[in-house]
Structure 1
Amino acid sequence: MANSASRKSMNREAAVDEDDIDRRLRLLNKPAVKSIQMEPSIKLPSENKATKVESSKPVIAQTWQKSGSCPRGTIPIRRVRRQDLLRASSPEQFGKMYHPHSQDYVANSTLNENVRNVVINGTRVSLPYTKDRDQAILVTVGYNYIGASSDINLWNPNLDLPDDFTTAQIWLLGGPGNKYESVEAGWMVDGSVSTGCFDLTCSGFVQTSSEVALGSALGPISSEREQYQISVGIFLDPHSTNWWLRLTNNLVLGYFPGSLFFYLKRSAIMVNWGGQVYSTMVKKTPHTRTAMGSGEYSGALHGHACYINHVRIVDFSLSLKYPEWVGVYSDEVYCYNGNNHRDGYVGEPVFYFGGPGQNHFCP
């Protein structure tokens, strides 16, 4: 009898969960003007190029674009599937950015200061410390920034745990270390989407373009033989205080409304380029095996390591230029690292970054 009662209780809980998921799916997937069925394979044929390094006319290719386009006046939104919600820790948490409490940020010397500082132009600069995240980044400070851009190499790094994610991106930051605000853009690979709001599931970003679906697959992916990249830029409109997102071929995707911010209404005070891994198993043993970039360390260089090139900032001089001062920072150099590498004495440096996560040197 006890076993029977227990089984009935479990069945009731399962039914409630299923009802909750159904309600959440109806809420997230609002009635569509048009549905586009993607092909099962995420690999795109060679004629649908993303951005080849030697190409002077880069374009973004997404899998769904092979099967149709959006009517005028509409935007593409990736449909949320039942399996997406089932992988999340709960239906309510699906699509929400992991947002640590203030105590998760370190604003004093409770940790070794070398762990969270970078030297730029001879000056030690403190970086915000975020729980459960590892970074390998190129950093610039010293001015008020109203824009930043770069070309970001496209890879498909492996994931270890269901809630892990790994990114290659630009982010502009404003505000004090324990209360900073940021706008971020780039590409990412995630396991369940339960740890971050990287598309239109959460309110905030306003999409204006019908050509790109946030959260959909990009391609083709770089390999030792061929390299592909996307261009990403984020720029402030000082009149509206909105931060506009531009992609490859100067495509304006949409904007982060100024109403979202306090410190970023006028400018950013720091810009980062590089990679980030979120996992509950970073800075711990055993370390997550989720990779950053291509999964290769930065020293592997072109064709092997992930890169970010054509690094640019905009300050109040209103010119797009390479930053005057930069520094390289990594949370755990034996897990993921960065290298601002210059070939010879000519040309700009290229920032290489990445790593495999857990390995012999990162137990």
Structure 2
Amino acid sequence: MRHTLTVLACVLVVLACEVVEARRLQMHKFAVKTIKSEDGDIFDCVDVYKQPSLETLSSKNHTIPIFRSHPPTSNHDSTKELQVQQRWQRSISCPQGTIPIRRSHAKDYGKSLPTSQLQRNGNVERALAYASYDGPFHGAGGRIQGWQPEVQPNEYSMSYVTVMTASNPAAPSFGELDTTDFVRAGWMVNPNFFRDNLSRLFVQWSNDNGETTGCFNLDCDGFVQTSSKIPLGASLYPISVYNNTEEQYSMQVDIYLDASLSKWCVSVQEEELGYWPIDKLFPQFINAPFVTWGGEVLNTWPGGQHTTTQMGNGHFAEEGRGVAAMNFNLSILRAYDNGPSAYLPSLFQDRPACYDTEYFVVDHEYFFTFGGPGGPTCS
């Protein structure tokens, strides 16, 4: 049986490689303009209706809606903060009616596999703030500082906002939840996925916790991008500087249900990025009992020891505001509210000796620090 499973896994990898290569060639063929960013990335400006999520027969008559100008989960004056940007934004943006798609490589075969298949050689470890009481929720938002943690090969480090459901919502603790549906947006360093160690913008989804469905960015049917200004997979710039409060950079990330209850939408820096159609992906995912903010790493136990992959900026939460990595301006949108509300979250850590989190309240604003260095002695 083991040999059968091995052969099947190899077939899946080959098929995934062929799908990625076919899509790469197809997107290049559809490009109306090509842009090279300062860090060497190449982006093709592709007609919005020719993107991967609209390739399927069921999507051929899909009409992309016009979004609201201000995300309902954002209650913050972003002009007061130093902004994370993308190097791509320093070049010319794509024409209206097109979206930027980052060129990938055929060898990136793992990109279109469900995320759990990429995690089977390791453990996911999180340090999170989460909302579970006073729901259900129709959205969440927050400002995420931009950092570039050190990440080992075949691992990743993320910071994100997630909206999710669970098959056992009454579990005794957050760590015992069995996640089912989730949508997520933020940044990650993922050498296996992006072929470098830069911090890059990503979105992610699944309706079975990554067992058989879902992917990052535009690498499978699912996420529909609408923005011509913000490319998924673009590197963030500038990156925050450790222990320097004058050079802390952040970006506003919001995920919310649209007014028609038909789409989970994403905004970055209050620019509509795109959406996941509920009828196609999440028939039962209209009310979310949980939202999370924070960090996550994949630990593959290299050499039989806990990884040295960093979370956040590699420093523990106790180092505090302006030093440790931080998420702030946390807000939620309850199903019965017309606007966003500030929220004092609960905290969760899978392995607090390796990565931890703390929260603070300053002038009625909630924020939390998180992260850690990992390492062979922390476990």
- Tell me which of 79, 91, 106 is aligned to 2:103: 79
Letter in 1 for 2:340: L
Question: After alignment, is 196-205 or 272-281 more displaced?
Answer: 196-205
Residue 339 of structure 2 is matched in structure 1 by 319
Equivalent position SS for 1:99: helix
Residue 120 of structure 1 is matched in structure 2 by none
- Tell me which of 351, 356, 365 is aligned to 1:348: 365
TM (normalized to structure 1)? 0.73
- Tell me which of 317, 335, 344 is aligned to 2:354: 335
Q: Distance in 2 between matches of 1:30 and 1:297?
A: 47
Residue 233 of structure 1 is matched in structure 2 by 254
Structure 1 residue 54: deviation in Å?
8.7
Deviations 1:158-197 (A, max 9, x none): 1112x21111111011241435101111111111118973
Deviations 1:269-309 (A, max 9, x none): 01111001123339x94011111111111011123211011
Note closer, same or farther for the CA distance 1:55–1:227 as it changes in structure 2 (3 Å cut).
farther
Structure 1 residue 239: deviation in Å?
1.6
Residue 90 of structure 2 is matched in structure 1 by 66
Percent identity over paired residues? 31
Letter in 2 for 1:170: V
Letter in 2 for 1:312: S
Work out whether 1:251 is the aligned partner of 2:268: no
Q: Distance in 2 between matches of 1:244 and 1:24?
A: 24
Structure 1 residue 23: deviation in Å?
5.3
Q: How does 1:62-211 map to 2 (within 5 A)?
A: 62-81=86-105, 85-86=106-107, 88=108, 91=109, 93-99=110-116, 132-142=123-133, 143-161=135-153, 163-177=154-168, 178=178, 180-193=180-193, 197-211=215-229
Q: Distance in 2 between matches of 1:201 and 1:22?
A: 11
Structure 1 residue 349: deviation in Å?
3.2
For structure 2, the residue ranges without an aligned partner over 5 or more in a row are: 1-13, 42-76, 169-177, 196-203, 205-214
Equivalent position SS for 1:134: strand
Residue 295 of structure 1 is matched in structure 2 by 314
Note closer, same or farther for the CA distance 1:359–1:313 as it changes in structure 2 (3 Å cut).
same
Letter in 1 for 2:267: R
Note closer, same or farther for the CA distance 1:154–1:36 as it changes in structure 2 (3 Å cut).
same
Residue 221 of structure 1 is matched in structure 2 by 239
Q: Distance in 2 between matches of 1:360 and 1:329?
A: 21
Q: How does 1:27-42 map to 2 (within 5 A)?
A: 27=26, 29-40=28-39
Contact 1:153–1:306 (8 Å) recurs in 2: yes
Give the ranges of 4+ consecutive aligned residues of structure 1 lying more than 6 Å apart after TM superposition: none
Note closer, same or farther for the CA distance 1:317–1:168 as it changes in structure 2 (3 Å cut).
same
Q: Distance in 1 between matches of 2:21 and 2:136?
A: 47
Q: Distance in 2 between matches of 1:65 and 1:144?
A: 36
Contact 2:305–2:376 (8 Å) recurs in 1: no
Residue 67 of structure 2 is matched in structure 1 by none
| Aligned Cα root-mean-square deviation (Å) | 3.1
Note closer, same or farther for the CA distance 1:141–1:230 as it changes in structure 2 (3 Å cut).
same
Q: Distance in 1 between matches of 2:227 and 2:300?
A: 35
Letter in 2 for 1:287: H
Letter in 1 for 2:137: Y
Letter in 2 for 1:73: G
Q: Distance in 1 between matches of 2:257 and 2:30?
A: 33
Contact 1:339–1:351 (8 Å) recurs in 2: yes
Equivalent position SS for 2:239: coil
Deviations 1:182-230 (A, max 9, x none): 1111111111118973221222111111010001101100003210000
Contact 1:28–1:80 (8 Å) recurs in 2: no
Q: Distance in 2 between matches of 1:38 and 1:154?
A: 19
- Tell me which of 283, 288, 291 is aligned to 1:262: 283
Q: Distance in 2 between matches of 1:326 and 1:155?
A: 22
Contact 1:198–1:215 (8 Å) recurs in 2: no
TM (normalized to structure 2)? 0.70
Structure 1 residue 350: deviation in Å?
1.6
Contact 1:175–1:263 (8 Å) recurs in 2: no
Equivalent position SS for 1:75: strand
Deviations 1:221-272 (A, max 9, x none): 0003210000001110242420111121x211111111210331x2100111
Aligned residues, how many? 295
Equivalent position SS for 2:25: helix
Contact 1:28–1:201 (8 Å) recurs in 2: no
Q: Distance in 2 between matches of 1:137 and 1:60?
A: 21
Letter in 1 for 2:130: V
Q: Distance in 2 between matches of 1:209 and 1:79?
A: 17
Q: Distance in 1 between matches of 2:179 and 2:319?
A: 36
Q: Distance in 2 between matches of 1:296 and 1:28?
A: 40
Work out whether 1:307 is the aligned partner of 2:326: yes
